[in-house]
Structure 1
Amino acid sequence: MQVGSIKTRYWSAGDRGDPVVLLHGGGSSIEVWINNMQALAQHHRVFAFDMVGTGLSDKPIVPYSLDYQLQFLNEFLDTFDIPQISLIGNSMGGSIALKFAIHSPERVRKLGLVSSFGLGREIDFSDRLLASFPAIAKLMPVNRSVVRWVLNSCVYNLNSVPEEWIELNFQRFNLPGQRKALISLLTTNLNWGGLRPEVFMPIVQQLDRIKAPTLVIWGKQDAIIPVAHAYVAAQKIPNSSLHIFEQCGHWAQVEHPEAFNSLVLEFLM
């Protein structure tokens, strides 16, 4: 479908209940919700989309700031005429959900954060390296082994990554504009020290403005964003609860789908 000027791939499931929008992380795609959509759709109208610059959605040459992605989320909701939602955001999707909840509190019924970006400066070394030296990302050959390494870094149990995702993500990375979009996303939001202060500080300083009941979910062994950030959210967001998954990395919804779905469905009631 067309969202503003962006040709956008989206999924929807369910025809009853309150709307729920699932936001994946930077450089990822809606496939990370494949084990969650139908379970949540038993009680809700569920939407997920490839964020602009990722997956099969368009990849314009722009600075991929959180504000740009937030604008795109607003346009997506306007396209479907959805006035109020529950948001579940993973990684960078979490930071976009946080900004939406801060700036449009009347539109957020419930807020779910899954290993959310934007709650502190720390992030994994490889992202900091590529953000600081984008020439590496421009020139580095990407084969299926590199893709496997990237996907494996998001989980604790390597067997939880479907084998077909290797080929899928290899093909996606080589789509026109994808490498430039990823480099823009990294350099806009990160530097050698981690998240740029101007990216995460406005979020952290305004967490107490969030009105929606919030569920914070994290993997104890998250190698991308440290579990310490989960406690920042749980302590600063007024009406929040925290669940830490054991033996789990950055993708709790992928590694522990049944427990994740049960937890989220109970929260959304």
Structure 2
Amino acid sequence: MKRLLPALFLAASIQAGAAAERWETLPPTPAPVAGETTGYAEVNGIRLFYAAIGDGPPVVLLHGGLSNSDYWGHQVQALAPHHRVILVDSRGHGRSTRDARPYGYDLMADDVVGLLDVLKILTADVVGWSDGGIIGIDLALRHPDRVRRVFAFAANTVTSGVKDGVEKNPTFAAFITRAGEEYGRLSPTPKDYDAFVEQISHMWASQPNWTDAQLRAITTPILVVDGDHDEAIKREHTETIAATIPGAGLLILPNASHFAFLQNPDLFNAAVLNFIDAK
């Protein structure tokens, strides 16, 4: 037995060393939160899926490209006790339909405004991840009267802010595969994932492309947030966004990536609540 102990300790050390860091993991997509009411809003030529839960100041959660609103499950649980939480599947994503128009951030931001109109919400806080964060900034630029604050996580404001070859990163590649499986289960066009990815990729190739002058014109309070190991967004770009938007804050979450809201929801949720509930 004594002879076996060194070998066991060595095996344990090797296994521990091989374990993925938290920022390398892709935790499961949360299940929808019990108590959500769901519906479809006829806006901007499409049927936009949404869910709502809770009472209080409204906050809209906008997911990243290729995904769906289920990804926000941990955040819903933290926000719903004191906020009216609105989840949205962006056009062509999740359960929402699309029309023949090319994908674009202005178009998707207008969809959000259309949903707010349907729900009779004058202004709301916005929490956005990746494409959702870009849509949040777009709202601050083009519809500043409809947004109170924007928590922009893992967003970019020019295409050069994205790292080359991000789709080859193992964690991000696993996300793309999972998103395809979820698309096949949720979408009204379940066989069209490859075409969907191609069409979204055309948008990513040219948008967003805002100038510094446009960003300096923003008056909405914005917190620019990212993980310290984001697979997709360059750290210097995140810092530049925060330095360019007047009064914007900058927060870098430790030991987290593009999927920080799944990897460390407690820390992510605390950051969201601290920002949107600040007096």
Q: TM-score range by the shorter chain?
A: 0.7 to 0.9
Indicate conservation of the 8 Å contact 2:66/2:176, yes or no: no
Given the superposition, is the C-alpha separation of residues 128 and 122 from structure 1 closer, same or farther in structure 2, using an over 3 Å criterion?
Answer: farther
2:59 aligned residue: 20
1:9 and 2:49 matched:
yes
- Aligned with 1:202: secondary structure? coil
1:205 aligned residue: 213
Deviation at 1:53, TM superposition (A): 0.9
Letter in 1 for 2:240: V
Q: 1:168 aligns with which of 182, 187, 195?
A: 182
d(CA) in 2 for partners of 1:61, 1:209: 32
Mark the runs of 5 or more structure 1 residues left unpaired by the alignment: 130-145, 155-163, 191-195
Letter in 2 for 1:95: I
Indicate conservation of the 8 Å contact 1:64/1:181, yes or no: no
d(CA) in 1 for partners of 2:198, 2:264: 30
1:264 aligned residue: 272
2:227 aligned residue: 219
Deviation at 1:75, TM superposition (A): 1.2
CA-to-partner distance for each residue in 1:210-260, whole Å, 9 max, x for gaps?
Answer: 212211110111111122222112101112211111211102211110111
Given the superposition, is the C-alpha separation of residues 89 and 107 from structure 1 closer, same or farther in structure 2, using an over 3 Å criterion?
Answer: same
Q: 2:115 aligns with which of 62, 72, 76?
A: 76
Task: Indicate the structure (1 or 2) with the bigger Cα radius of gyration.
Answer: 2
d(CA) in 1 for partners of 2:176, 2:230: 9
1:29 aligned residue: 68
d(CA) in 1 for partners of 2:86, 2:102: 25
Given the superposition, is the C-alpha separation of residues 236 and 19 from structure 1 closer, same or farther in structure 2, using an over 3 Å criterion?
Answer: same
d(CA) in 1 for partners of 2:158, 2:270: 25
Indicate conservation of the 8 Å contact 2:184/2:190, yes or no: no
Indicate conservation of the 8 Å contact 2:109/2:138, yes or no: yes
TM-score by length of 1: 0.78
Q: 2:130 aligns with which of 85, 91, 95?
A: 91
Deviation at 1:204, TM superposition (A): 4.0
1:180 and 2:195 matched:
yes
2:100 aligned residue: 61
* Equivalent residues in 2 for 1:18-167, closer than 5 Å: 18-126=57-165, 150-152=173-175
Letter in 2 for 1:14: G
d(CA) in 2 for partners of 1:128, 1:261: 27
Indicate conservation of the 8 Å contact 2:166/2:172, yes or no: no
Indicate conservation of the 8 Å contact 1:29/1:50, yes or no: yes
Indicate conservation of the 8 Å contact 1:114/1:216, yes or no: yes
The alignment's C-alpha RMSD in Å is 2.8
Kindly, what percent of the aligned residue pairs are identical? 28
Letter in 2 for 1:100: L
TM-score by length of 2: 0.75
Indicate conservation of the 8 Å contact 1:22/1:47, yes or no: yes
Mark the runs of 5 or more structure 2 residues left unpaired by the alignment: 1-39
1:244 and 2:252 matched:
yes
Deviation at 1:205, TM superposition (A): 3.2
CA-to-partner distance for each residue in 1:12-63, whole Å, 9 max, x for gaps?
Answer: 11112x1110111111111221110121112211111110011111133331
1:132 aligned residue: none
Of residues 219-228 and 58-67 in structure 1, the stretch that sits farther from structure 2 once superposed is: 58-67
Of residues 118-127 and 22-31 in structure 1, the stretch that sits farther from structure 2 once superposed is: 118-127
Given the superposition, is the C-alpha separation of residues 266 and 251 from structure 1 closer, same or farther in structure 2, using an over 3 Å criterion?
Answer: same
CA-to-partner distance for each residue in 1:178-200, whole Å, 9 max, x for gaps?
Answer: 3323211211330xxxxx3xx33
Given the superposition, is the C-alpha separation of residues 251 and 149 from structure 1 closer, same or farther in structure 2, using an over 3 Å criterion?
Answer: closer
- Aligned with 1:206: secondary structure? helix
Letter in 2 for 1:9: F
Letter in 2 for 1:186: S
- Aligned with 1:34: secondary structure? helix
d(CA) in 2 for partners of 1:242, 1:234: 6
Deviation at 1:203, TM superposition (A): 5.2
CA-to-partner distance for each residue in 1:72-102, whole Å, 9 max, x for gaps?
Answer: 1121111111111111111111111111101
